[in-house]
Structure 1
Amino acid sequence: MRIHFIAIGGSAMHNLALALHNKGEAVSGSDNEIFEPSKGRLKAKGLLPETFGWFPENITKDIDAVILGMKAKEDNPELLKAKELGLKIYSYPEYLYEQAKNKTRVVIGGSHGKTTITSMILHVMHYHEKEVDYMVGAQLEGFDVMVKLTDHNDFMVLEGDEYLSSPIDRRPKFHLYKPNIALLSGIAWDHINVFPTYENYVEQFEIFLTEITNGGAIIYNEEDAEVKRVVESSTSMIKKYPYQTPSYTVEDGQTLLDTPEGPMPIEVFGKHNLNNLEGARWICQLMGVDADDFYEAIATFKGASKRLEKIAETPTAVAYKDFAHSPSKVKATTEAVKAQYPKRKLIACLELHTYSSLNPEFLSEYKGALDAADSAVVFYSPHAVMIKNLEAIKSEQIDEAFNRDDLIVFTNPADFKTYLYTQDFDNTSLLLMSSGNYGGLDFDEVKKYME
């Protein structure tokens, strides 16, 4: 088939393009700008556009499918030409469904934990050499691509994002996958720019349950009150399997998971990650992996990229970076690091970077999110606020939102770096939480300053 991508350079889009190319399809694409690592990965496969921009002449009658990325606008010249020619236009999730509609679809949903749970499942399958198709939102150790598509694998494991599908399809992505097996890890209000009220946000997960095929199954975290309510009130013809955080202990910075064979050391830590692990165990069981084989494999799982990723360690200090940005993720991640190293001082730094986190109406959701830290730091860029056309934020609003008198707030990247690199890191844990980079922080430099 001949397939053209409008906005091929996105993280998800370029991975789908690579997967289809690897499958043997004829792939082309366009974009007005492409950054690393997408740029280098597309170039290596001969898929990088020769010229950046949108060109209607790229769209011809012999194209079998156009895949439209969220980055494109409704008036995109290539999109308009595709409509004029009557070509079939898919969103990213729509096309994934087309590739998976004859497979058993396993969809991992939830406001938090879905990347980690999906990664755990794929790690276990890879460890036991069980081939599955997949789509995951992070680069995994042992995997060269984030999307894999075949004509022969029985299962497809999909990370189910609740964000919008495309500029012309405003449905959340995970509404389009129609799972046979689904998981719901947690519900905590996010994406305020798309779901302006908590009730509207929760409704998307209620709809998700209705999309599970009749006779299918939902694995759900019953420790999350909203998840429990939504699943247990669902009248869909599906099987319901609740899970809870398994028993574990922490000894000298090492987490030990209780198993039928006794305590087992694992690489990941924190109550939220142990909860994720149990959800993954349930899914793997429904995919034919028994408990003993699951535990053997999960003992070697080191985590997904940017999820509590260790970036530096000395005999008396450790530093992690994490993608956490929503209030529930920030709270869970901060508490996890403090619980893992309870006798060490914890410096927790959070960059407010997303639309929701920089919205004054949403800030109050962060109350108590950094309470587990001994020193709490918040960084945000007034320029980023301006670019997103949001109301200006004052430091006093940040202080009030987090409800900490000793909160340290930075708006200048140089001032934040100076603070960071003048700390005494002896007997200290450093946690850097952001979906950005604090205005240009070199994470590789952190190790040098901790030694």
Structure 2
Amino acid sequence: MRVHFIAIGGSIMHNLAISLKQKGYNVSGSDDGIYEPALSNLKEFDLLPEEMGWNPDIITKDINAVILGMHAKKDNPELVKAKQLGLNIYSFPEYVYSQTKNKQRIVVAGSHGKTTVSSMIIHVLKYWNIDCDYLVGASLKGVDRPVKITEKAPVIILEGDEYLSSPLDPQPKFLHYHQHIGIITGIAWDHINVYPTYEGYEQQFEEFIKNSPKGGALIYSSDDKPLKKLVKRTPVSGDVDVIPYDKIKSKVKDGKTIITAGSVNTETIVFGDHNLQNMSAAMEVCKRLNVSRDEFIEAIATFEGAALRMQLLKDSGTTKIFRDFAHAPSKVKATVHALAKQYKEKVVACLELHTFSSLTDSFLSEYSKTLKEADIPLVYFNPKVVENKGLKTITKEDVYKAFDQKNVEVFTNEKELEERLLSIDWSKRNLLLMSSGRFNQLPLDELVEKIG
């Protein structure tokens, strides 16, 4: 089987390419720019293109499948050649489905928490030596790669993204997976470049619910009011098992979260209401895979979290520094709340606005009071990123008004942000760094050492 990836450097794309090579396929790929960690990963498996750029001459009739990444454009010369030759062209979710038709497919969808829920399920199954394949959007301790697709595993855990599948396919990725068990963690408007209205965004999840198959299951957060209403009004087959979940029972004592839902009280590593809800969702899935409640709790106690999901960077004894991928309003609010509730120390929350949605002036008001539980709330954005995304210019005053908190400080220069962070008295304060980027050129590693 020969497979070619157009835009192989993407996070999922390059890991899927590695998985297929490990499966014995003949894999090639191209891209006009590949960065770490994809660069080193592809080099390790001898999949790094010899030259950067697009070369239609490498597209030949013997290619069985062309997998098209989101980074490629509709007029990509390799894509044009593939069409001319009549080759089979797939988005990566389409191709993943073609490889997993004979497996039980568990798809985790939602505006937040889907990476963590997927990772929790994988962790528990691996803990009990239950073979599974998976596709998730982050690194996980104890797992070599975030994508694994084999012939023998009977089940696959798929993180289901609501974003477009490819430049040729506007359908959300999660609709291609055709779930047997579907999970929705919550709905909060995002990706406004694709879904300019909340109604259009919500409609994608409505379609996901409608796709619940006969004899399948739909597991959803009952704590999310918009989602609860959507599930109630969306018709599904009468034999679909519709299962609501809330956060797993627990208590916080001396800065430790202890699960009280099992036969034995069990301390966990991850914390926060949103993670307790994520645990509950994962537990409902694992029950259907013959993992008991007590077995689940024993396993989840050893779960350290997915990369950049409330990741502890340093603990000096008086100050803890966390890094989190949170960027959408609902994620930001939940993450700050988790840290404020878990520890007695005050929270310094530092958020970078980096995504298309977060830098759009009409969307900024969604961040209103999301940092209210932070003792010192800091917000950074780079005006050059706004310009590069072709967005309307926003000012520091626009951001300040949108967050609707008198104590919010807004920065457009990372040097000034660094100086502000270093000026803070860090005794009895914890730092939370939230971004899907890297605060431009801010030397995070050095900053962590100086603060800690």
Same fold flag (TM > 0.5): yes
Write out aligned runs for 1:10-21 (5 A). 10-21=10-21
CA–CA separation in structure 1 for the residues paired with 2:323 and 2:127:
26
**One-letter code of the match for 1:276?**
N
Contact 2:262/2:297 (CA < 8 Å) preserved in 1?
no
| SS of match in other structure, 2:294 | helix
Contact 1:348/1:432 (CA < 8 Å) preserved in 2?
yes
The aligned residue for residue 425 of structure 2 is 424
Q: Percent identity?
A: 50
User: 1:348-371 deviations in whole A, cap 9, x for unaligned?
Assistant: 010000000000000000011000
- Correspondence 1:124 to 2:101: no
The offset of 1:130, in angstroms, is: 1.0
Give the TM-score normalised by structure 1: 0.99
- Correspondence 1:385 to 2:411: no
The size of the alignment, in residue pairs, is 450
**One-letter code of the match for 2:397?**
E
User: 1:294-328 deviations in whole A, cap 9, x for unaligned?
Assistant: 11100000100000000011111101010000000
User: 1:4-63 deviations in whole A, cap 9, x for unaligned?
Assistant: 000001111001000100111000000011001101110111100001110001100000
- Correspondence 1:334 to 2:339: no
The aligned residue for residue 209 of structure 1 is 209
Contact 2:418/2:447 (CA < 8 Å) preserved in 1?
no
Contact 2:415/2:442 (CA < 8 Å) preserved in 1?
no
CA–CA separation in structure 1 for the residues paired with 2:281 and 2:346:
31
- Correspondence 1:445 to 2:446: yes
Structure 2: runs of 5+ lacking an equivalent:
none
The aligned residue for residue 317 of structure 1 is 319
CA–CA separation in structure 2 for the residues paired with 1:130 and 1:350:
38
CA–CA separation in structure 2 for the residues paired with 1:438 and 1:423:
18
| SS of match in other structure, 1:43 | helix
Give the TM-score normalised by structure 2: 0.98
The aligned residue for residue 292 of structure 1 is 294
The aligned residue for residue 43 of structure 2 is 43
CA–CA separation in structure 2 for the residues paired with 1:399 and 1:65:
49
The aligned residue for residue 24 of structure 2 is 24
Contact 1:313/1:447 (CA < 8 Å) preserved in 2?
no
CA–CA separation in structure 2 for the residues paired with 1:318 and 1:78:
48
| SS of match in other structure, 2:307 | coil
The aligned residue for residue 115 of structure 1 is 115
The aligned residue for residue 182 of structure 1 is 182
- Correspondence 1:168 to 2:168: yes
User: 1:403-446 deviations in whole A, cap 9, x for unaligned?
Assistant: 11111110001111111122211111100000111112233223
| SS of match in other structure, 2:54 | coil
| SS of match in other structure, 1:398 | helix
The aligned residue for residue 270 of structure 2 is 268
CA–CA separation in structure 2 for the residues paired with 1:316 and 1:256:
22
The aligned residue for residue 348 of structure 2 is 347
The aligned residue for residue 34 of structure 2 is 34
CA–CA separation in structure 2 for the residues paired with 1:260 and 1:251:
17
| SS of match in other structure, 1:129 | coil
Structure 1: runs of 5+ lacking an equivalent:
none
User: 1:382-402 deviations in whole A, cap 9, x for unaligned?
Assistant: 000000011111111111111
The aligned residue for residue 193 of structure 1 is 193
Contact 1:311/1:444 (CA < 8 Å) preserved in 2?
no
The offset of 1:284, in angstroms, is: 0.6
CA–CA separation in structure 1 for the residues paired with 2:317 and 2:64:
58
The offset of 1:449, in angstroms, is: 1.4
**One-letter code of the match for 1:43?**
K
